Amino acid sequence: MAEIILRTDATFGLKLKVGDEVRRGDRVGVNSKTGGSVTSPICGAVKIVSFDAESHEFIVVVSAAKQNLI
Amino acid sequence: MKKRRKSLTIENLVIVFLIVLGSISLSQGVSSYRNGEEGVNYISGYQASPGIKSYPLLRTKKVKNVILCIGDGMGLGQVVLARMKAAGLYGKLYMERMPVTGIVRTHSADSLVTDSAAAGTALAAGVKTMNGMLSMGPDGKKYQTVLELAKKKGMRTGLVATSSITHATPAAFGSHVKSRGMQDKIAEHLLANKINVLLGGGRGYFLPKSNTDSARTDERNLISEAETAGYSYIQTAEELRSAQGPYLLGLFQVGPLVTESPEPTLGELMKKAIEVLNDRKRGLFGKSKGFFLMVEGSQIDWACHDNNADNTVKELLCFDEAIECALEFALRDKHTLVVVVADHETGGLTVKGGNLECSELDIDWATTGHTGLPVPIYAFGPRADIFSGVYDNTEVAKKLAQLLGTKRFPRTIK
């Protein structure tokens, strides 16, 4: 199954947790470099959420829902 | 009647014996609990402060040395939880025995919730900036940091952290960049600033691109450059023990420290930094001009981002152990100001309930990010009194600059 990796500024807490469903365009968090929004480019479910201390970012892995693959 | 008295005496003795026995077993229970519940060993060898009495207010007015300790993400909730776990309800951490306390507001120029870069900039340079920026104003102008000010006044300087030494908080004191992510550039700035002591992680940012451990995008070997410039380079706890100044670069991991043996503890790093910086034999006629040292307990923040209470306590006690080393020196020296503060709170940690023995605590987290809550500040040493009250984080740098003899602060530099 296809997955995408999103990185968001850890200064701001994630509202998503593992298992949550996201739709295309849903706001995931804040971009560390631009301060703009990070949105999910696909529909799917949050598979992994982890904190990367070195970059001070959350890494969010979203597994694509079946309709993305059609 | 006499018989009755005698039997009472025996009864009393039995009661006293039982009380003593009970006390021993109770104190053993408390003691084993101090190093963590259910086998969690928070920090090997750490003992919470045996006393609860505050350290004295010093009458000496002359500040010769400054040790600024920053607990990343350390709000009052984190301090309370660590104290309850390590010292019980009525005990105290070492930082809590410092005689002056205050409250510091933390927002940045562009957000109610700051990051460590903007907060570090406020604490180091006395100016509000945007999240992500280091010792630059929102307009990109560079601002002098208290470390640079100290350096200019002939004082020795040092930065110690359990993160990469190029991470946001230490970087705010020794570099000026638009983005905290520019860690290879920050490494260059730290060395160009000729900071006497640099101890932490982040070796990757000092190694050339061709090295497998490198995090750089060019072929500069900053470790070789540092050695050529007079730095002693070390990377193990054993090397740390015999290391000498006046310039010391210690990079103990490719990335952040793991804060486990065989790495040196933050307390050991603090002790070595003080030893190198407090060299009394230097200068004209052997007179020392003092030192400025910033030490960060970096990973309290990281544990809070994970909403991990055990690691939060472990990292906070690791930080408190280092503070004990600073206070031990300052108590002897009499001219050293120790300030303990946080850059921001992380996690919105709160203690919702539990029992008075603190063996069961009901805690909760509001977020996995930072919060806009104010943070505590503690001070000990000459002129510590000026740190009491409620004020903005930029005031910390201004107060430090004032104690270093500079009224015009913050100030831009080229």
**C-alpha dist (Å) from residue A3 to A62, A65, B87, B145:** 5, 9, 46, 44
Identity of residue B135: S
Closest Cβ opposite residue A10 in set B132, B164, B305:
B305
Report percent pLDDT > 70 for chain A: 93
Instruction: Identify whether B116 is a catalytic site residue.
Output: yes
Contact residues on chain A for B168, CB-CB shorter than 8 A: 56
Residue range B218-233: mean pLDDT, rounded:
98
Alpha-carbon span B392 to B258, nearest angstrom: 32
Mean pLDDT of B178-196: 98
Closest CA to B120 of B70, B162, B165: B70
- Which residues of chain A have a CB within 8 Å of the CB of B255? 54
3-state secondary structure B124-160: HHCCCCCCCCECECCCCCEECCHHHHHHHCCCEEEEE
Q: What pLDDT, on a 0 to 100 scale, did the predictor assign at position B42?
A: 59
Judged against a pLDDT cut of 90, whether residue B51 lies above it is answered with no
Please provide the CATH number assigned to the domain covering B65-406. 3.40.720.10
CB pairs under 8 A between A and B: 51
The answer to whether the CB of B369 falls within 8 A of the CB of B116 is: no
Lowest-confidence segment of A11-20, B15-24, B192-201 by average pLDDT = B15-24
Closest chain B residue to A31 measured between Cα atoms? Answer: B132
Condensed to tens digits (0 to 9), the pLDDT of residues B96-140 reads 999 999 999 999 999 999 999 999 999 999 999 999 999 999 999
Q: What is the pLDDT of residues B160-180, one digit of tens each?
A: 999 999 999 999 999 999 999
pLDDT range class, residue B10, cuts 50, 70, 90: very low
**CA gap B86, B294 in Å, rounded:** 25
B369 touches chain A (CB under 8 A): yes
Residue B204 has pLDDT above 50, yes or no: yes
Distance CA B273, CA B148 (A): 17
ipTM of this complex prediction, to 2 decimal places: 0.92
Give the other-Cβ count within 10 Å of B403's Cβ.
20
Shortest Cα distance, chain B CAs vs residue A45, angstroms: 19
Which pLDDT score is estimated for B13?
A: 45
- Of the two residues B84 and B35, the one the predictor is more confident about is B84
Q: Residue A54 and residue B179: Cβ atoms within 8 Å? A: no
Q: Residue B173 in contact with residue B120, Cβ under 8 Å?
A: yes
* pLDDT (0 to 100) of residue B44: 62
B115 and A53 within 8 Å at the Cβ level: the answer is no
Contact A55 B181 (CB under 8 A): yes
**Using one digit for the tens of pLDDT, what is the confidence trace for B344-372?**
999 999 999 999 999 999 999 999 999 99
Q: Is the pLDDT of residue B277 over 90?
A: yes
CB atoms B369 and A11 under 8 Å: yes
Contact call for B163 and A53, based on CB within 8 A: yes
| Band of residue A38 on the pLDDT scale cut at 50, 70, 90 | very high
How far A67 CA sits from the closest chain B CA (Å)? 31
Cα torsion angle, B267, B166, B339, B110, sign:
negative
CA distances from B150 to B195, B247, B378 (A): 10, 16, 21
Backbone angles phi, psi at B200, to 5 degrees: 165, -150
Q: What is the pLDDT of residue B282?
A: 57
DSSP B58: P
The confidence band for B287, taking pLDDT boundaries of 50, 70 and 90, is: confident
**What pLDDT sits at residue B351?**
95
Confidence tier at B52 by pLDDT (50, 70, 90): confident
Instruction: Give the pLDDT of residue B279.
Output: 79
CA distance B127 to B122: 5
Give pLDDT, residue B155: 97
Domain boundaries, given as residue ranges, for chain B: 65-406
Helices B76-87 and B2-34, interaxial angle, to 10°?
Answer: 130
Q: Side-chain half-sphere of B238: how many Cα atoms within 13 Å?
A: 1
